[in-house]
């Protein structure tokens, strides 16, 4: 028996697990301390009422013999794939229902999609980057090259035309930096992918936070993207599904055999999302559900604006916080040291930039997903921490 030695190439502990371990150790030592978490991007507001009502109705259906359902379609129930396609249509993007695949979240599919590509593919990821992009490729032995995202380019790198790659990861709005590509920047990546014959793996998990109509929320707003891009999206942040688990992946027919291959892969390795959860997801895309989701997201955007305004007032360089739920600040020291100091002195938790890559060192990520009162208190503590 031989094990996969590529696991030796990844960190022993997943970044966010390490953050939680350090917080748990601190709280065990100082149980009286009130710790405010602005670290892991988990939501705090409850599911929208329209979503809850849809879930209750669906569970009751499953409790009756004449409406009971077992295994669902591998792509997802048509009521949900149709609702997602219509959601894109309202934004001027034409999709057929069979280009939509329902999943248990973007994170799963971002890793699982790699089953479709050879291990010899060269993968390009930005640095800093969401660790899943790197770890899932290292586990399969792929070569990874990096696009440097730095303060100099506003953490929005553009393609290096002299370098040829096969797979390209783009997250916009970005995790961890909160930076958002404009149409010209995203078009540069689409044109580059078409020239290389590469596939863009576009993470749109935070698209619902983009309020500026000049900024693209989907890669398919860019001409030609349907010929070079797969898009992943999640209801985790849009509708509070972090504990419910539902997302979707768009695989256009214009990508050749990838749509057929993805269906084959999913029908072999994935049994689908539960009927009740898919009914809840359907409700998200209804008029009432959209309005209620927007109300929740508005709270998080208010938190993000407060964090950004506080940092601006303190003359601390940062990105994000306007069209994204993440704020990426310059801490000016070893980011894990900053984490420990902030936890000990202010009892506030964030995420060290070093955990997102080489270019993340010296930076720190905060999230807007706590409640308004806790976020406001965290910012008061931030001011005291930096003035001490």
Q: Are 146 and 124 within 8 A, CB to CB?
A: yes
Nearest alpha-carbon partner for 347 in 22, 41, 13, 16: 22
Q: Are 156 and 135 within 8 A, CB to CB?
A: no
Separation between Cα atoms, residue 245 and residue 272, nearest integer Å: 11
Please report the pLDDT score of residue 13 as a whole number.
65
Written as tens digits, the pLDDT of the chain (388 aa) is 999 998 888 876 678 888 989 999 999 999 999 999 998 888 999 999 999 999 999 999 999 999 999 999 999 999 999 999 999 999 999 999 999 999 999 999 999 999 999 999 999 999 999 999 999 999 999 999 999 999 999 999 999 999 999 999 999 999 999 999 999 999 999 999 999 999 999 999 999 999 999 999 999 999 999 999 999 999 999 999 999 999 999 999 999 999 999 999 999 999 999 999 999 999 999 999 999 999 999 999 999 999 999 999 999 999 999 999 999 999 999 999 999 999 999 999 999 999 999 999 999 999 999 999 999 999 999 999 998 7
What residue ranges define each of the domains in the chain, with the CATH number in brackets?
5-47+289-387 (3.90.1150.10), 51-285 (3.40.640.10)
Instruction: Read off the tokens for 321.
Output: 């916080």
| pTM of the model as a whole | 0.95
Q: Are 69 and 275 within 8 A, CB to CB?
A: yes
Task: Tell me if residue 58 falls in helix, strand or coil.
Answer: helix
Pairs from 373-376 (Cβ < 8 Å, separation ≥ 24): 374/36, 375/36, 375/38, 375/303, 375/306, 375/307, 376/306
Please report the pLDDT score of residue 267 as a whole number.
96
User: How many other CB atoms sit within 10 Å of the CB of residue 306?
Assistant: 18
Please report the pLDDT score of residue 286 as a whole number.
97
Instruction: Read off the tokens for 378.
Output: 């965290």
Nearest alpha-carbon partner for 330 in 380, 381, 365: 365
């Amino acid at each position: 028996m031989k094990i996969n030695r590529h696991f030796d190439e990844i960190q022993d502990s997943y970044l966010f697990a390490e953050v939680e371990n350090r917080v748990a150790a601190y709280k065990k030592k100082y149980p009286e301390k009130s710790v405010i978490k602005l670290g892991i991007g988990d939501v705090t507001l409850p599911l929208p009422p329209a979503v809850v009502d849809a879930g209750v109705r669906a569970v009751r259906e499953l409790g009756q013999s004449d409406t009971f359902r077992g295994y669902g379609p591998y792509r997802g129930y048509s009521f949900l794939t149709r609702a997602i396609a219509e959601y894109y249509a309202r934004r001027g993007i034409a999709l057929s229902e069979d280009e939509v695949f329902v999943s248990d979240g973007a994170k799963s599919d971002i890793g699982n999609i790699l089953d479709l590509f050879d291990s010899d593919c060269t993968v390009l990821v930005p640095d800093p980057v969401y660790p899943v992009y790197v770890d899932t490729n290292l586990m399969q032995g792929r070569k990874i090259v990096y696009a440097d995202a730095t303060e100099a380019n506003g953490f929005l790198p553009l393609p290096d035309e002299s370098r040829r790659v096969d797979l390209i990861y783009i997250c916009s709005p970005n995790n961890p930096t909160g930076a958002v590509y404009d149409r010209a920047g995203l078009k540069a990546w689409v044109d580059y992918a078409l020239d290389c014959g590469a596939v863009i793996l576009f993470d749109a998990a935070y698209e619902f936070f983009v309020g500026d109509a000049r900024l693209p929320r989907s890669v398919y707003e860019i001409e030609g993207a349907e010929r070079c891009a797969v898009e992943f999206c999640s209801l985790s942040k849009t509708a509070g599904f972090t504990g419910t688990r539902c997302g979707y992946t768009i695989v256009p027919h214009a990508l050749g055999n990838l749509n057929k291959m993805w269906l084959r892969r999913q029908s072999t390795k994935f049994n689908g999302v539960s009927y009740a959860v898919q009914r809840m997801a359907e409700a998200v895309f209804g008029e009432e559900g959209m309005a209620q989701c927007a109300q929740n997201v508005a709270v998080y955007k208010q938190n993000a604006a407060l964090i950004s305004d506080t940092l601006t007032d303190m003359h601390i360089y940062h990105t994000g916080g306007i069209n994204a739920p993440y704020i990426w600040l310059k801490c000016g020291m070893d980011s894990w040291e900053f984490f420990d100091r902030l936890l000990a002195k202010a009892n506030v938790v964030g995420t060290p930039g070093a955990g997102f890559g080489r270019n993340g060192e010296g930076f720190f990520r905060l999230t807007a997903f706590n409640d308004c009162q806790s976020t406001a208190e965290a910012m008061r503590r931030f001011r005291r921490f930096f003035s001490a």
